[in-house]
Structure 1
Amino acid sequence: MSAQPMRTRGPDRVPRNAESIAAALEGERRMEFYRELLAAAPEDAEGVLRRWWCEAMLDTDPAASRVTETALNGTLPTKSVAAAIARRQAAGLPVE
């Protein structure tokens, strides 16, 4: 028996490095990213990159406009926190 990933995914739309993150952001957001990264202490730089990578991934999500539209018109599917916790527990994932 071998361990298999629960789901496979392709490469990230935005590689996890400062240059790619900056390229995915536009205008003032790109400048804000650079300001925050340059002001960060070395031990905090990884956290800055991680946060802004998440922002860049959201900004480049091809489904973003559809999700926004469905949220605004009240048709976005939702689930309860209890359902999300149960799903994570069933998958053997932490729920803290």
Structure 2
Amino acid sequence: MTAQPIHHHEPERVPRNANGIAEALDGPRRVEFYRQLLAAAPEEAEGVLIHWWCEAMLDTDPAGDRLTAAALDGTLRTTTVEDLMARRRQAGGPVE
């Protein structure tokens, strides 16, 4: 199954490239990102970029602190995979 972003960012908060990702991360996380990217085999590099792009997007999310607090205090709204699939079908989205 694939997932599409709920909110599109124009332009994206974090460009989908190594420089954009690195700029969005703080010092120690930036070092770890570069360490993993440089250690990755060519066929693994895309996975490293995707992982760290997601991390950078979470780090720069304006609602991030609110979402973290809600998760920690147990008030973050959750749903089931079945409900998500039903909503996607209803909206005409692909469900694989």
The TM-score by the shorter chain falls in which range? 0.7 to 0.9
Q: Which has the higher contact order (CA 8 A, sep 6+)?
A: 2
CA RMSD in angstroms comes to 1.8
Q: Which aligned runs of 4 or more in structure 1 are off by greater than 6 angstroms?
A: none
SS in 2 for 1:78: coil
Q: Give the percent of matched residue pairs that are identical in Structure 1 and Structure 2.
A: 66
Shift of 1:94: 3.5
Which range moves more in the overlay, 76-85 or 10-19?
Answer: 76-85
TM-score, normalised with respect to structure 1: 0.80
Shift of 1:84: 0.9
TM-score, normalised with respect to structure 2: 0.80
Q: Structure 2 unaligned runs (5+)? A: 1-5
Which range moves more in the overlay, 85-94 or 14-23?
Answer: 85-94
Quote the Cα distance in structure 2 between the aligned partners of 1:87 and 1:75. Answer: 22
Q: Structure 1 unaligned runs (5+)? A: 1-6
Quote the Cα distance in structure 2 between the aligned partners of 1:68 and 1:94. Answer: 29
Q: Give the aligned partner of residue 53 of structure 2.
A: 53
* Residue-by-residue CA offset, 1:18-58 (whole Å, 9 max, x unaligned): 01101111122111110111111222212211111011000
* Residue-by-residue CA offset, 1:73-92 (whole Å, 9 max, x unaligned): 22222222221110122233
Q: Give the aligned partner of residue 18 of structure 1.
A: 18
Q: Give the aligned partner of residue 36 of structure 2.
A: 36
Instruction: Count residues with an aligned counterpart.
Output: 90
